[in-house]
Amino acid sequence: MGDLEGLTNRAREIGGELIQKVSEGRNPIILGRLSTDGMCAASLLAKAVQRKKGKPIVRIVPSIDDKNIDDLWKNGHDWMLFCELGAGMVHKLKEVLDENWLIIDHNQYSRDELGVGNVFNSLQFGYNGGSEVCTTTMAYFLSLAMDRSNVDLAWLAVLASLAVRHDLGDRRSLLGLNKIALDDAISTKAIVSSNDLLFFGRETRPLHQAISSTINPYIPSLSGNEDASLATLVSSGIDVKVEDRWRTLADLDEDDKKKLVQVILPFLTPSENADEALDEVLGSVYTLVREDEHSSLRDGREFSALLDACVGMGSAGIGVSICLGDRDQALLEGERLLVSYRQRVNRYIRTLLNDDARIVESSKSFLVSGDGLVDENMLGHIASILSNLSRFRGKVLLLRSITLSGEAMFSARKTPQYESSVNLGEMMLESSRELRGRGGGNDSSAGARIPMHKSESFLRLVNSKL
């Protein structure tokens, strides 16, 4: 159990310092990591600063290093907030910026860095960054300390929690501090929670389109394949139309839903256990009731996927605009990106799963090679999808790709039924440092960048630590 009182007290102290700086006319540059969580956290903090009459600048970047910090300082940015960025950079920040910086994060940091007052990290208060809290939820607690009216921003923390796959509770529910943020979003009537099948477009899309559009969970042979989804439904005897109108998930009664689960069961798992299949596709649904019923923002997981698309397709600025409330041009562009993103995700997954040469199994891990295929901006998203497939259960999944700069980039995930207590964030941090690379993350999700010629050495080192 984490120290909620300690966290809220520290948030209150930091929040007061932020308000003081804004009241003095100082405006921060807020840097978020190029991830949905980093983007949501930066957007949420920007909104909180704006409400105090501040004028923040938001940038979304893949990482930061010594040169980035020096360049920002030289360009006149003397107050910096970092969201899901900064592990390993604390002493550099102190050197350049003195006390004019703050890191908000949920990932693994060294004990030395966690002891620095300008770091606001869930680990300092005993919360697991791999399941109970994301960076946006930490930013949300900080915004509440600045002004209780920021409770209306809780929905952003819910979206980020879904993006980092923290729906690990019973029936895909949220846990820990993420659950507190969810409860706040429900209390302000921003979100309604229910239990249902986890397919996109429950109220608006024909059944076969809802199934084929779903990538979380990913349904092999059906996700991304509308024709196969329709053929499967028709062959099963499920009525896909009422007169001339396509049926949606909202039209199905409980018997229909059970029948639908049985139909897709063979695609989800080699097991014939219906309960196991239900755990994959039935769970907590979060509806953002203030969003348009026909929008991709209505369903929490679909909204989260749209933000993933903005990140993965290299258009984080569109995602920030949507987080800050743009429902016009930015939303139209975001929905276009989501279509392209889904197509690319499905192509990546099909190619990886159908090419045995890309998958190497060892005693404790699966290495999946995305070399020459998977874009580095999408590596984490694809690793998360693969890690939930039955094929990879019980071991750590490592997905590798080659960056534009020629480095080997790895994304690691714990899979269901993996029982070791190893902390992936610590493992990737230590292993990458030994080979002059960079890495980090949290208990169940982590990543690293390594010089390409040290890739095999890195894999041997990682497997020795698992």
**CATH at 433:** 3.10.310.40
If asked whether residues 326 and 367 sit together in one domain, one would say no
Joined tokens for residue 219: 């349904």
Kindly state whether residue 18 falls inside one of the protein's structural domains. yes
Residue 268: band (very low, low, confident or very high) from pLDDT cuts 50, 70, 90: confident
Q: What is the CATH number of the domain that holds 26?
A: 3.90.1640.30
* Residues making up the chain, counted from first to last: 466
Among the candidates 351, 377, 398, a domain finishes at 351
Q: Convert the pLDDT of each residue in 67-110 to its tens digit.
A: 999 999 999 999 999 999 999 999 999 999 999 999 999 999 99
- The pair phi, psi for residue 375, each rounded to 5°, is -65, 140
Residue 202: band (very low, low, confident or very high) from pLDDT cuts 50, 70, 90: confident
Is the pLDDT at 273 greater than 80? The verdict is no
Q: Could you list the residue range(s) of the whole structural domain that residue 418 is in?
A: 356-465
Q: What is the mean pLDDT of residues 355-368?
A: 96
If asked whether residues 156 and 226 sit together in one domain, one would say no
If asked whether residues 226 and 181 sit together in one domain, one would say no
Residue 441: band (very low, low, confident or very high) from pLDDT cuts 50, 70, 90: very high
If asked whether residues 16 and 130 sit together in one domain, one would say yes
Kindly state whether residue 451 falls inside one of the protein's structural domains. yes
Among the candidates 298, 328, 351, a domain finishes at 351
Residue 200: band (very low, low, confident or very high) from pLDDT cuts 50, 70, 90: confident
Kindly state whether residue 251 falls inside one of the protein's structural domains. yes
d(CA 385, CA 341): 14
Kindly state whether residue 294 falls inside one of the protein's structural domains. yes
If asked whether residues 331 and 448 sit together in one domain, one would say no
Long-range pairs of 82-85 with CB within 8 A, sequence gap ≥ 24: 82/31, 83/30, 83/31, 83/32, 83/33, 83/38, 83/41, 83/42, 83/45, 83/135, 83/136, 83/139, 84/32, 84/33, 84/35, 84/37, 84/38, 84/41, 84/135, 85/31, 85/32, 85/33, 85/38, 85/61
If asked whether residues 262 and 389 sit together in one domain, one would say no
If asked whether residues 98 and 228 sit together in one domain, one would say no
Residue 280: band (very low, low, confident or very high) from pLDDT cuts 50, 70, 90: confident
Kindly state whether residue 191 falls inside one of the protein's structural domains. no
Q: What is the pLDDT of residue 443?
A: 93
Kindly state whether residue 223 falls inside one of the protein's structural domains. yes
The count of domains in the chain is: 3
Among the candidates 307, 326, 351, a domain finishes at 351
Q: What is the mean pLDDT of residues 215-236?
A: 90
Burial 199-227 (b: 16+ CB within 10 A, else e): bbbbebbbbbbbbbbbbbbbbbebbbbee
If asked whether residues 96 and 216 sit together in one domain, one would say no
d(CA 130, CA 168): 10
Q: What is the pLDDT of residue 235?
A: 86
Residue 293: band (very low, low, confident or very high) from pLDDT cuts 50, 70, 90: confident
CB 122 within 8 A of CB 177: yes
If asked whether residues 306 and 448 sit together in one domain, one would say no
Q: What is the pLDDT of residue 275?
A: 63
CB 109 within 8 A of CB 87: yes
If asked whether residues 229 and 95 sit together in one domain, one would say no
Exposed/middle/buried for 343, CB within 10 Å: 0-12, 13-18, 19+?
Answer: exposed
Q: What is the mean pLDDT of residues 152-156?
A: 98
If asked whether residues 210 and 306 sit together in one domain, one would say yes
User: Before 217, cis peptide (omega within 30)?
Assistant: yes
If asked whether residues 260 and 224 sit together in one domain, one would say yes
Q: What is the pLDDT of residue 270?
A: 59
Q: What is the pLDDT of residue 252?
A: 87
Which residues, in sequence order, are bridge partners of residue 366? 361, 397
Is the pLDDT at 396 greater than 80? The verdict is yes
Residue 276: band (very low, low, confident or very high) from pLDDT cuts 50, 70, 90: low
Q: Convert the pLDDT of each residue in 114-137 to its tens digit.
A: 999 999 999 999 999 999 999 999
Instruction: Look up the pTM and report it.
Output: 0.93
Calculate the average pLDDT of the chain: 93
Is the pLDDT at 281 greater than 90? The verdict is no
d(CA 276, CA 228): 23
